[in-house]
Structure 1
C-alpha cells in the first residue's frame, strides 16, 4: 500500500480526490493500492522538562539549566486517536509520500511521525504550491525523493530544540527571579518572541522620551501666466536644524514680510527627472500582512487565517506562507488559463482584463529569485466569490490585483525641481507631470510614502529667468511629531527588515540575506502569543508594551533581546537546511550558550511591577489577570503547578 501523509484533513481530501481514493475509513480515504491520511497540524510535541525527571516538575534555580540527553516527544492527547490511525497505516505501508505543507514545519510534522513509528521504508515528497486540481496533478507527476527534502526536517528539529532550550530554561529562570522580586506571574522568554517584544519596547521608549519642538514653514503662493503653484521657503543654515527646519519664529515672520515686499520671484534653475515605476510585485506573506494591516485594519494572524482559507477552502490562491514575491518562468505559459478562470469567477473584470497585455513579460518572472515557494497569486481554479466572507473577498482582490498589474506598463512621470529667488530669500517648488498612467490605473499604491502634496502639483511652463507673481504668503506654525506606535503590520515589517537596526556592516549584510526575525509561517503566531500573554496591549490598531514587558526587556541579557542575534540563529537553520551545518553542532552551541546565561543571570535582581489580584481558591496564592479565548480572567500565579481560575465580572476588574 502506498500511503500519502497530509498535514490537514482538507488537504487530504483534495489530494485523495485527484488520486481516486474515494472510500472513507477511520481517519483516512482509500483507493486502489493507495491510502490518504492526515495529521491535524503537529500530532506530537516536545516533552516537558518533567519527562526528563520528576524533580523537574517543580521550578527551582538549582535545576537549571535543563539539558535533555536524549530528546523525547509525546503524542498530543487531543489528537491521539488520529496518531493511532497513522501508526497503524505506517506499519502496513510499502511506500510513504509526504504530502504535508511544503516547508520545514510541514516536513517535521511528517518526519517526526515516521521516526516515532519506526517507519523505515521508501519515502517520496509531494511538493505543492496550490491545492487546485491542476497543481496537484502537476506535483504528482514530479515527486521529489525523500532524501532531497530530508534536511528540512533537521532544520525544523533544530528550531524546535533551540526554542525548547531557551524557552524552558530562560522562562523558568526569569519567572523565578521575578518571584524573588515579588512578581507572581510567569515571565515567558522565547528565542524569537523576546527580540520581537524589544522592537515594541524600543518604540515605546522613543515615543516616551520624545520632546516636541516648534518650527516654522513658509509657503509662497505664486503664479505665472495665470497658473498658480506653491513654493516653499528654504531657510538659511544659521536658523535651521539638520533637517532644514526653521527654528526661529522671528526669522520666519521677517521672511514673510520680505517676500510680500518683493512681490515677484525669479526662476534661478530647473531640473527635470524622468521616472519609471514598475508594478509592485505579487505578495509574499509578510507584505500581504503589512498591506492588509494598513488598508483593511486586519491583524497579522487574521490575514494569515484568511490567506490560508483562500488557499485551502476556496482554492482561489496559491500557498500563503511564502517568503518569495517572484514567479517561475514556466508559469508564464499558464497566464491565459488563469485569466480565463478570473473572468469566469468575476465577469465584472472583463473591462479591466481587456486593457491588459498578456504577452507582457514583467520582472516577476525570474527563476533565479524563486525560493521553495513562489509568490501568492490567483490559481487557475474557478472560485466562488459568493462563498467568501467580506474580508476574504477583500484580501483575494488585493492578491488578484497585484497579479494583474504585471500585465500593465510602467507608471511614468516627470518630476521638476525649481529653485527661485525672491529678494534675498530662496524658494523651491516641485511639480509632477504624469506621462503614462500604466499600472496605477488599476492599482494605486503610493511608492513614496508621506510625499508632500505639492510634489504632485502641476507647474506652469517655466524657464530660467521667468518672473512669477507673489499672490500670497502663508506662515505655518509646526511641531515635530513623535514616532508613531507600531501596528501589527509595522511590527511584521520590522521583524522582516531587522537588518536596518544593526550597525555592524558584516552582520547587516548577513541579515539582508536572511528573512529577519522568525519566518513567514511563524511571525503572526509570535505576535499573537505576545498579545495573549499580556506583553503587548492593543489600543485601536496600535501595539503598546505592558509594564512587565518593559521590565523584562531591561532585565534579560542583550544577547537574548538582540534582533540581529536572532536573525543569525535563523540563518543557522538555513545552513542546516542546506547541509552546511549539522543538527548536533547547532544544538551543542545552544546548550553551551544557555548554560552561560543561566550562570551569569542567576543573581540578578528584577524590579518588576506588581499587579494585585484575588486569592486563588485552590492554593491561596495571589492571582494574575490573564486573557483567554472568552475574555479576561484571574489565573493562579503558580500556574502551571496550580490551575486555579476565577472569572472576572463585566462591571469590574475584581471577581
Structure 2
C-alpha cells in the first residue's frame, strides 16, 4: 500500500481526486491502485516547552534556556489523526510526502515520518496549486524525498532559532516588566523586534519634524491652441529663498506675481517623449497585502487568510509565494482560465477583451522560484465572503492584465519665459490605454491627474492670464500602514546605509518570509507595542520603551537578514543545522545580559507585594478583580501571593487590632463570599485561628450555630432535615432547613411557621 501524507485536509482532498476516490474512512481517503491519502493539521508535532525539558524551567526566572537535545510533542488537538497516520505507516510499502511546497511543509511531514521511525521508500509530491491540471502534472513529476533533506533542515533551524530568541528574550523582558508592575507578557522575536524598531523610529522622526512654510507660484497661460498651468522656477539669484531653494518670502513672491501678471512671453523649450508601461506583474503575497491595504484597508492577516481560503477552494494558486513570475509552460492554459473568468461577475468585459496568445514579461520560467505568482486556476467561484471576493477580483484582474498591450502615452514638458522668469509645465497624453482598461495598478496610490498640454511649438507666444500663490508646508515622512510595512520588510535594504549590507538584504528578499510577515505584525499588536490609527500603524508608549531596551543586534535588520541568508544556505546544503543553532545559542546569554537593569514605566499606580516588595499585578478573571505576585522564588513560603481587590487597590491584610481571644497577635483582614455571591469581610488571628466578623472595623465573635435534626425530611432524597436559627445583619430572625443527604443532596429551604417552606429554596449549603 502507498500512503500519501498531505499537510492539511484540503490538499489531501485535491490529491485524492487526482488519484481517483474509492471511499472515505475516518482520517484518510481510499484511492485507486491500493493507495490512501491521509493528512496532518499543519504542525501536528510541536516544539516542547521549557518545562517539558526540565520542570525547573517552568519558572520564568530560569534563564538562559538552551535545550540539549531538541524534542517534539504531539499537538493535543491532533493526537487522534497522528495515531491514524501511524497505523497507516505500519501497513505501508511506500510513502508519498505531500507537504506544502516550501521548507515548512517539508519539515511538517518529514518530522511525522521520523516520529514513527519510517525508513522506507519515500517520494516527494511538489504541488503548488490545487486545480486538477496542476495535481495531475505534479503526480507525474514526483522525485525522491531524500533530495529535500536540506530544505527540512532549514525549516527546523528557523524554528529553533525563533524558539531560542523568543523564549529567552520574552521571559527576560516580561520579568523586567513585572518588576516594574506591568502585568502583561512582553514578547520579542527576530523579525518583530526589527519591525518594531522601524515603527518607533518613524514615529519619533515624525514627532521631531518641524514643518516649514513655503510658497509655490502657479500661473495660467493662454496660447493660440488653448491654455495650460505652469509653476514658477526660482533662479539662482531669486530673493526670498530658503536653503533648500524654496520660496518662503511672501513679499518676494508678490513681486514675481506683479511682474508677470498680464505679461507676454514665449515657449523656450519643448519636449515630447513617447513612452510605454507594461502591465504590473501578477501578485506575490507581499504585493497583494500592500495593494489590499491601500485599496481595501485590509490587514495583512486578513489578506493572508482570504488568499489561503481561495487556495483551499481551488480558486487561486499557492498564496505564500515570494515570486511574481509565471512559468512559460503554463501559458497554454491561459485561454481556458480567461474563458472561465469571462463568466465571473465584474470581470466579463476585461476577460473577453484579453488576447490569450499575448505573452507579457511575467512569463519567465527562469525567474520562477519554489512557487510562481498567485493567479486564478480557472475554477468557478461559488460562495465567497466579501473579503474573499475582493481578493479574488484583485488576483484575477492582475492576471487578465497580462493579456493586454502596454499603456502607451506621451510625456510633455515645456518651459515658458515671461518677464525674465521661468515657468515649467508638464503634461501627459494617453495614446493607447492598454492594460489600464482592466484597472489601475493596485500597488500605487492615486496620483493627481496630469494635464494634457495644448498644441504648441518652441518659440510660440504665451500670455500670463493669472498667477496665484499656493501656500505649502513641508511634510513629515508618511506613517506606516500594514501594506507599507509588509513592503518594507520585503525590501528592508532600502533602510540600510551600509552598501554591503544592502546587497545581502536585497539578495535574501528582506526579513521574515511571505508566510510570517503578517504574523509578526499581529504579534506586535497583541503585545501592545503598536496599534492601528485609522489606516496607519503607530507605536505605543510601551512599544517605544521596549524598542529602547532591546539589544541593538536584535533590532538590526542586517542581523536578522543574515540569519535568513544562513537558512537559505542550509536549504542549499551550504551550511549545517547544528552549526547554525549552536552559534545562535552561544549568543543568547549575551542578549540577556544586554538588558541589564532596564526599567519600564507603567501608567497604573503600583502596590507592593507584602511578601517580596515587588509590584503586584492587577488581574481580572470572570469579572472578578484580584492582585497577584508570582515571584515565588522571592517569597518565604515559595507560593504565589493572591490578594482580593479592595476598591481598586489590593486588600491590606494587616491591622492594628489585637486578637480578643489570645492577645498574641494582630488580627488579619480577609474577604469571603456568601452562597448568594455577595462578599463579606472578616478577621482571623494568625496565632490562634479564631475568626471574627468585621462590624465597621470592629471584630465581633462569629458564633457557631448548632444544627438539630427536625421531624421533616427532604422531598428529593428522603433524608432528615436539620434546622438552624439565626439573625441577619438587619436584626431579622431566620430559620433554615438543610438536607443532611450530603454529598448527593445539598439543598436548603427557608423556614415558615416552624416548618420548611419548600416553595422558598435557600440555595446550596
TM over 0.5: yes
C-alpha displacement at 1:31, in angstroms?
2.9
Which residue number corresponds to residue 463 of structure 2?
A: 469
C-alpha displacement at 1:149, in angstroms?
2.0
Q: Aligned in 2, Cα 1:133/1:354: closer, same or farther, shift over 3 Å?
A: closer
Which residue number corresponds to residue 206 of structure 1?
A: 205
| C-alpha contact 2:307 2:319 (8 A) present in aligned 1 | yes
User: For residues 552 and 106 of structure 1, what CA distance do their matches in structure 2 show?
Assistant: 33
Which residue number corresponds to residue 231 of structure 1?
A: 230
User: For residues 350 and 538 of structure 1, what CA distance do their matches in structure 2 show?
Assistant: 37
C-alpha displacement at 1:642, in angstroms?
8.4
C-alpha displacement at 1:126, in angstroms?
0.9
Alignment of 1:492-507 (within 5 A): 492-507=486-501
Alignment of 1:145-294 (within 5 A): 145-225=144-224, 227-237=226-236, 239-241=240-242, 244-260=245-261, 263-294=263-294
C-alpha displacement at 1:377, in angstroms?
0.5
Q: Aligned in 2, Cα 1:311/1:447: closer, same or farther, shift over 3 Å?
A: closer
Instruction: Please tell me whether residue 375 in structure 1 is matched to residue 373 in structure 2.
Output: yes
Q: Over residues 141-175 of structure 1, what are the superposed CA-to-partner deviations in whole Å (9 max), with x where a residue is unaligned?
A: 11122022222110100000000111111112222
Q: Aligned in 2, Cα 1:241/1:625: closer, same or farther, shift over 3 Å?
A: farther
Q: Aligned in 2, Cα 1:541/1:175: closer, same or farther, shift over 3 Å?
A: same
Greater relative CO, 1 or 2 (CA 8 Å, sep 6+): 1
| C-alpha contact 2:173 2:186 (8 A) present in aligned 1 | yes
Which residue number corresponds to residue 299 of structure 2?
A: 299
C-alpha displacement at 1:634, in angstroms?
9.8
Instruction: Please tell me whether residue 518 in structure 1 is matched to residue 517 in structure 2.
Output: no
User: For residues 412 and 643 of structure 1, what CA distance do their matches in structure 2 show?
Assistant: 73
Q: Aligned in 2, Cα 1:446/1:373: closer, same or farther, shift over 3 Å?
A: closer
Q: Aligned in 2, Cα 1:330/1:352: closer, same or farther, shift over 3 Å?
A: same
C-alpha displacement at 1:615, in angstroms?
11
C-alpha displacement at 1:226, in angstroms?
5.1
| C-alpha contact 2:99 2:105 (8 A) present in aligned 1 | yes
| C-alpha contact 2:192 2:520 (8 A) present in aligned 1 | yes
C-alpha displacement at 1:22, in angstroms?
3.6
Alignment of 1:393-404 (within 5 A): 393-404=389-400
Alignment of 1:52-91 (within 5 A): 52-60=53-61, 63-91=62-90
Which residue number corresponds to residue 651 of structure 1?
A: none
C-alpha displacement at 1:232, in angstroms?
0.3
Q: Over residues 263-297 of structure 1, what are the superposed CA-to-partner deviations in whole Å (9 max), with x where a residue is unaligned?
A: 12321111222221010010001100110111011
Q: Aligned in 2, Cα 1:643/1:505: closer, same or farther, shift over 3 Å?
A: farther
User: For residues 413 and 85 of structure 1, what CA distance do their matches in structure 2 show?
Assistant: 62
Which residue number corresponds to residue 127 of structure 2?
A: 128
User: For residues 545 and 94 of structure 2, what CA distance do their matches in structure 1 show?
Assistant: 53
More deviation, 511-520/531-540:
531-540
C-alpha displacement at 1:383, in angstroms?
3.1
| C-alpha contact 1:538 1:544 (8 A) present in aligned 2 | yes
Instruction: Please tell me whether residue 480 in structure 1 is matched to residue 454 in structure 2.
Output: no
Partner SS for 1:489: helix
| C-alpha contact 1:3 1:90 (8 A) present in aligned 2 | yes
Which residue number corresponds to residue 356 of structure 2?
A: 358
Which residue number corresponds to residue 669 of structure 2?
A: none
| C-alpha contact 2:360 2:403 (8 A) present in aligned 1 | yes
C-alpha displacement at 1:184, in angstroms?
3.7
| C-alpha contact 1:576 1:583 (8 A) present in aligned 2 | yes
Q: Over residues 489-523 of structure 1, what are the superposed CA-to-partner deviations in whole Å (9 max), with x where a residue is unaligned?
A: 11111111100011111110111111211101111
Structure number with the higher helix fraction is 1
Which residue number corresponds to residue 716 of structure 2?
A: none
| C-alpha contact 2:284 2:321 (8 A) present in aligned 1 | yes
Instruction: Using structure 2 for the length normalisation, give the TM-score.
Output: 0.78
User: For residues 502 and 592 of structure 1, what CA distance do their matches in structure 2 show?
Assistant: 26
Q: Over residues 4-39 of structure 1, what are the superposed CA-to-partner deviations in whole Å (9 max), with x where a residue is unaligned?
A: 111112221222222223422221112342121111
User: For residues 249 and 213 of structure 1, what CA distance do their matches in structure 2 show?
Assistant: 14
Q: Over residues 172-203 of structure 1, what are the superposed CA-to-partner deviations in whole Å (9 max), with x where a residue is unaligned?
A: 22222333344343221111111111121112
Q: How many residues align?
A: 631
| C-alpha contact 1:310 1:396 (8 A) present in aligned 2 | yes
User: For residues 125 and 400 of structure 1, what CA distance do their matches in structure 2 show?
Assistant: 30
More deviation, 302-311/31-40:
31-40
| Structure 2, unpaired ranges of 5+ | 633-638, 645-765
More deviation, 515-524/154-163:
515-524
Structure with greater Cα Rg? 2
Which residue number corresponds to residue 329 of structure 2?
A: 330
C-alpha displacement at 1:245, in angstroms?
2.6
Q: Aligned in 2, Cα 1:639/1:331: closer, same or farther, shift over 3 Å?
A: farther
| C-alpha contact 2:294 2:443 (8 A) present in aligned 1 | no
Partner SS for 2:480: coil
| Structure 1, unpaired ranges of 5+ | 647-655
User: For residues 182 and 519 of structure 2, what CA distance do their matches in structure 1 show?
Assistant: 26
Q: Over residues 581-632 of structure 1, what are the superposed CA-to-partner deviations in whole Å (9 max), with x where a residue is unaligned?
A: 111111121112212222343x33224334459999xx99413699xxx99x
| C-alpha contact 1:624 1:637 (8 A) present in aligned 2 | no
Alignment of 1:619-630 (within 5 A): 621-623=616-618
User: For residues 363 and 341 of structure 1, what CA distance do their matches in structure 2 show?
Assistant: 23
C-alpha displacement at 1:218, in angstroms?
0.7
Which residue number corresponds to residue 429 of structure 2?
A: 433
Q: Over residues 314-354 of structure 1, what are the superposed CA-to-partner deviations in whole Å (9 max), with x where a residue is unaligned?
A: x11111111100001101111122122223x4277454334
User: For residues 27 and 606 of structure 2, what CA distance do their matches in structure 1 show?
Assistant: 45
C-alpha displacement at 1:243, in angstroms?
5.4
Partner SS for 2:174: helix
Q: Aligned in 2, Cα 1:306/1:241: closer, same or farther, shift over 3 Å?
A: farther
| C-alpha contact 1:612 1:623 (8 A) present in aligned 2 | no
Q: Over residues 88-135 of structure 1, what are the superposed CA-to-partner deviations in whole Å (9 max), with x where a residue is unaligned?
A: 222322211111211111111111111222111121111111111111
User: For residues 207 and 356 of structure 1, what CA distance do their matches in structure 2 show?
Assistant: 45
| C-alpha contact 2:551 2:594 (8 A) present in aligned 1 | no
C-alpha displacement at 1:312, in angstroms?
0.6
User: For residues 608 and 234 of structure 1, what CA distance do their matches in structure 2 show?
Assistant: 51
C-alpha displacement at 1:403, in angstroms?
0.7
More deviation, 243-252/153-162:
243-252
| C-alpha contact 2:225 2:455 (8 A) present in aligned 1 | no
| C-alpha contact 1:185 1:637 (8 A) present in aligned 2 | no
Which residue number corresponds to residue 545 of structure 1?
A: 539
| C-alpha contact 2:269 2:458 (8 A) present in aligned 1 | yes
